[in-house]
Structure 1
Amino acid sequence: MLSVDFVTQLRNLLPSDRLLTDPVDCYAYAYDNSRKIFPPAAVAFPVTAMEVQSIVTLCNDHGIPLTPRGRGTGTSGGSLPERGGVALSLERMLRIVSVDPANRVIVTEPGVLNQSIQDAAKPHGFFWPPDPSSAAYSSIGGNLATSAGGPHAVKYGTTRDHVLGLRAVTGAGKFIKTGCYTTKGVVGYDLTRLLIGSEGTLAVITEATLKLTPLPQARSGITAHYRDVSSCASAIVKVMALPETPSALEFLDAGALGLIRGRFPDMVPHGTCAMLMIEVDGPSRSITESSASILDACRNSGLISAEEVMDAATLWLARKTLSPLLRDIAPKKINEDVVVPVSALPEFLDGLARLTGEHRIANVNFGHAGNGNIHVNLLVNPDVGNEMNRAEKCLNEMFDLVISLNGTLSGEHGVGSEKRAYVGKEIDSTTLALMKDIKRVFDPRNILNPGKLFPADPPIE
């Protein structure tokens, strides 16, 4: 509950059409794609960095929780206002400040959509490589918050690899500028990479200088169909050992393929239990050679068929429809984006099959196999017996398996609230304590997205 005095001061900072306090209006900002509900007491819509600073300063003065938010497409609960307070929606900070093709740079505000950046860069012969499946409706601020990736991260890297600098407001209400405008720069600590992936717990990003990449001259697609997951996983390891890295390498298991068959009946050959969707890009003269090398690496005793696909648009459409189709199997999905070293994929997928079998949990897997980044979906019905308990035990043991294989609990979705209880499996207590110290420096009163990232994170006085 916000005090009358605080709300009055907040109203003085913004016009009435950019502040919500009615619970009915605020409800639209109570959830993200994790499907959990935590209503804020107010929603503020700044349009300038000065307004962001004023709101942060006011919340800091009063000790009011402030949860930065993009378009709410995240799956890990990172933008949920769990402790109430104010939701700081950056969706109206929509300026592309400048497009500078000579220096391969775009400067943008956080509310601009990923797709809008692509549209602005394309006429100049460039693109911004991070391409999450939500690119058409996720904001740059949200991409920065989780260091989003996508299919093309296997060749081009994630968001952290494509940002030169940031402007932001710390939890204490101070403006900071990180990084630089050039691709080389080693003056001071790398605060840019620290803020990217921090999920709004350290500072509110108000502007980003993004590094652009030339559009490839040509692209080609390859599909490979396998009789079993083991053969498919072995092929992934061989493909990723080639000198030329594919621009995308997606894996789909039998459960994922079953969903695709229901929507696109003629797309997947009979008998396919695992599939690779591979993309190659680069100079036109090298595409044929690269595709031939990848096709050769795909061949093993479990291969049913492999072929080039010159127009892969339908394949990518099928891949992007998978997440919503999962609810055809069960009403609830536990969606994880774990990563293991590529060489460990066969062992991970075999171990995952064993765990889901032991705990009797329906399971569909797909994802960015070229990075070892698998989207594991445990599909459950909370109303059926002890299914949720079995799923939680399965999840816990799966995380243990990931760590034992030298992997990580999240590749692109972030920690948010969904994974925070498991963070101690990956990060030791000394390192966690140092991270909390950093949080205190940026946000001494713990107002920014409090409770996220860290297990058992109490309020900081």
Structure 2
Amino acid sequence: MNISALIAALRAALGSERVRDDAETLAIYSHDDTPGSCAPVMVLFPRSHEEVQAIVSIAHRHHLPLVPRGAGSGNVGGAQPVPGSAVISFECMQRILDYSAADRVITVEAGCVTGAINAHVQADGLMYPPDPGSSPYCRIGGNLAMNAGGPHALKYGVTRDYVLSLRAVTGTGETLCCGVRTSKGVVGYDLVRLLVGSEGTLALITEATLRLLPAPAAKATLRAAYRHTASACAAVQRIMAQRHIPSALELMDPHALAAVRAMGAAGDLPADSNALLMVEVDGEACAIPDQVQAIRTALAGAGHLETLEATDATATAALWTARKALSPATKAMAPLKINEDVVVPVSRLCDLLDGIEDIATEHSLRIVSFGHAGNGNLHVNFLVHPQDADEMRRARHGLQKLFQTVLTLGGTLSGEHGIGRSKRAYVPLELSPESLAIQHAIKRVFDPDHILNPGKLFPED
């Protein structure tokens, strides 16, 4: 690779100010929200689909690996550079290209901040439902790459469920337009669903047309405390068996509650609480009381301590205090949080939590679990000290046991965070050699020289 010729070609395409190789910029873009870093050789800032196409065409000729990046908020290393790579940052591509309230669709560039989509459409009573926790700053391109979810995925689904069409650039620099603008369309293979969740390894998504929904007129939030985790899990099953689907159903385990208590953020929780459920319902205002009553009935049972309810913003925020404090609380417990994102059938949620307790005991580890209980999607956090070699060894064994437990329970290794660099070695635990061979073959069709986000998603072919 002739670096001088490469930089000259890229600067001719983008302008000198948007091809950066100074030490300060390289350091900023050397990592995402995952431990570890690797400095790229340069960082590129395209402003349009055509400039992305020019970058990939040049990279293809010079065999330059490209690592796409949104806000860098991922925690599986999906946006971490690899040696000799260039980061292509989409932060200069934030335009809303088209919006039709009548058709309930919006077309945005990949660098558009996810939360800005709702800000743009809310005056028309519409919403874009996927809501990852990083919505105020993450970018839609990263959400598309990882098929992001969030608390409201329980009722409304994940990113993939709202993508109508995409514009992208393949690894050879070709423009790929796939999907339709309508709610129905079955012409050809569904390349949209293939690209969403592919972590930038098949093509670089530059534009997306997204489906919108009417925003609910009213909401209510309930917080239920339990004496035991098993009691909370039983309540989750009762909630998911009744006729009203909650818009969110979150769980905190005993260790999560201990973490927020240590920060003084437990508020008015009963002293003997060892598990917490947060439930949200939404819909027309006239329907909320019936939904709340049904949820209250399902929440009651053995081990139930109390249920509190809120409908206005101030009271709702108060109920969410413990949950909102959880991330800083866990970060205060250890210098490194290994955040795994696993899913099991809802009926096996208690089995998973029991298995996590066994892992913590067997390997002498601190593990804090919380997450989207209505989906069976838990965020399992190993709190470790990276300078303690023995603890890190035990954590690796614990992770392996966690993944084996999840698969034994009929689950999957990742629900919404993706695979990235961190989990790629574990993928063969879930996918058969035949499946992996087909997926590697698909990769070669889209990106024959393997320049798009190498070292991510799958073990090497």
If the TM-score is normalised by the length of the shorter chain, which range does it land in? over 0.9
1:9 aligned onto 2:9: yes
- Cα-to-partner distance string for 1:101-151 (whole Å, 9 max, x where unaligned): 100001000111011001001011011111011000000001101000000
- Cα-to-partner distance string for 1:246-287 (whole Å, 9 max, x where unaligned): 000000112222232324242422111000000000111111
> Per-residue deviation at 1:317?
5.2
Report the AA paired with residue 74 of structure 1: G
1:354 aligned onto 2:355: no
- Aligned equivalents of 2:114, 2:225: Cα separation in 1: 32
- Aligned equivalents of 2:126, 2:433: Cα separation in 1: 43
SS in structure 1 at match of 2:209 = strand
SS in structure 1 at match of 2:210 = strand
CA contact (8 A) 1:66 1:86 kept: yes
- Aligned equivalents of 1:40, 1:335: Cα separation in 2: 25
Distance 1:212 1:263, change over 3 A: farther
CA contact (8 A) 1:2 1:41 kept: no
**Corresponding residue number in structure 2 for 1:118:** 118
Matches within 5 A, 1:133-152: 133-152=133-152
1:198 aligned onto 2:168: no
Report the AA paired with residue 185 of structure 2: G
- Cα-to-partner distance string for 1:64-122 (whole Å, 9 max, x where unaligned): 10011101000000011123321000011010012211000010001110110010010
**Corresponding residue number in structure 1 for 2:307:** 306
> Per-residue deviation at 1:195?
0.5
Task: Output the aligned Cα RMSD.
Answer: 1.2
- Aligned equivalents of 1:448, 1:80: Cα separation in 2: 12
- Aligned equivalents of 2:14, 2:381: Cα separation in 1: 42
2:421 to 417, 423, 429: 417
**Corresponding residue number in structure 1 for 2:237:** 237
**Corresponding residue number in structure 2 for 1:159:** 159
- Identical columns (%): 48
- Aligned equivalents of 2:223, 2:361: Cα separation in 1: 28
CA contact (8 A) 1:99 1:120 kept: no
Distance 1:267 1:201, change over 3 A: farther
2:376 to 372, 380, 387: 372
1:270 aligned onto 2:274: no
Report the AA paired with residue 234 of structure 1: A
Report the AA paired with residue 393 of structure 2: N
Distance 1:400 1:300, change over 3 A: same
**Corresponding residue number in structure 2 for 1:172:** 172
Report the AA paired with residue 351 of structure 1: G
CA contact (8 A) 1:23 1:41 kept: no
CA contact (8 A) 2:181 2:209 kept: yes
- Aligned equivalents of 2:233, 2:182: Cα separation in 1: 39
1:396 aligned onto 2:396: no
1:429 to 429, 433, 441: 433
- Runs (4 or more) in structure 1 with deviation over 4 Å come to none
- Aligned equivalents of 2:83, 2:188: Cα separation in 1: 35
Report the AA paired with residue 291 of structure 2: S
**Corresponding residue number in structure 2 for 1:215:** 215
Report the AA paired with residue 28 of structure 1: I
> Per-residue deviation at 1:318?
4.1
- Aligned equivalents of 1:50, 1:87: Cα separation in 2: 17
SS in structure 2 at match of 1:184 = coil
- Aligned equivalents of 2:266, 2:428: Cα separation in 1: 44
- Aligned equivalents of 1:341, 1:68: Cα separation in 2: 33
Matches within 5 A, 1:324-339: 324-339=328-343
Report the AA paired with residue 452 of structure 1: K
SS in structure 2 at match of 1:386 = helix
- Aligned equivalents of 1:62, 1:207: Cα separation in 2: 25
CA contact (8 A) 2:257 2:266 kept: no
- Aligned equivalents of 1:263, 1:202: Cα separation in 2: 46
CA contact (8 A) 2:27 2:39 kept: yes
Distance 1:265 1:348, change over 3 A: closer
Moved more, 144-153 or 303-312: 303-312
Report the AA paired with residue 25 of structure 2: D
CA contact (8 A) 1:107 1:209 kept: yes
- Aligned equivalents of 1:93, 1:325: Cα separation in 2: 35
Report the AA paired with residue 82 of structure 2: E
Report the AA paired with residue 45 of structure 1: F
- What is the aligned residue count? 457
CA contact (8 A) 1:203 1:443 kept: yes
- Aligned equivalents of 1:362, 1:394: Cα separation in 2: 11
- Aligned equivalents of 1:308, 1:420: Cα separation in 2: 42
- Aligned equivalents of 1:6, 1:306: Cα separation in 2: 62
- Aligned equivalents of 1:108, 1:263: Cα separation in 2: 41
**Corresponding residue number in structure 2 for 1:22:** 22
**Structure 1 unmatched ranges of 5 or more:** none
Report the AA paired with residue 289 of structure 2: T
**Corresponding residue number in structure 2 for 1:444:** 448
- Cα-to-partner distance string for 1:403-444 (whole Å, 9 max, x where unaligned): 011100000000000100000011101001100000000001
SS in structure 1 at match of 2:443 = helix
> Per-residue deviation at 1:385?
5.1
Length-normalised TM-score, structure 1: 0.97
**Structure 2 unmatched ranges of 5 or more:** none
> Per-residue deviation at 1:316?
3.7
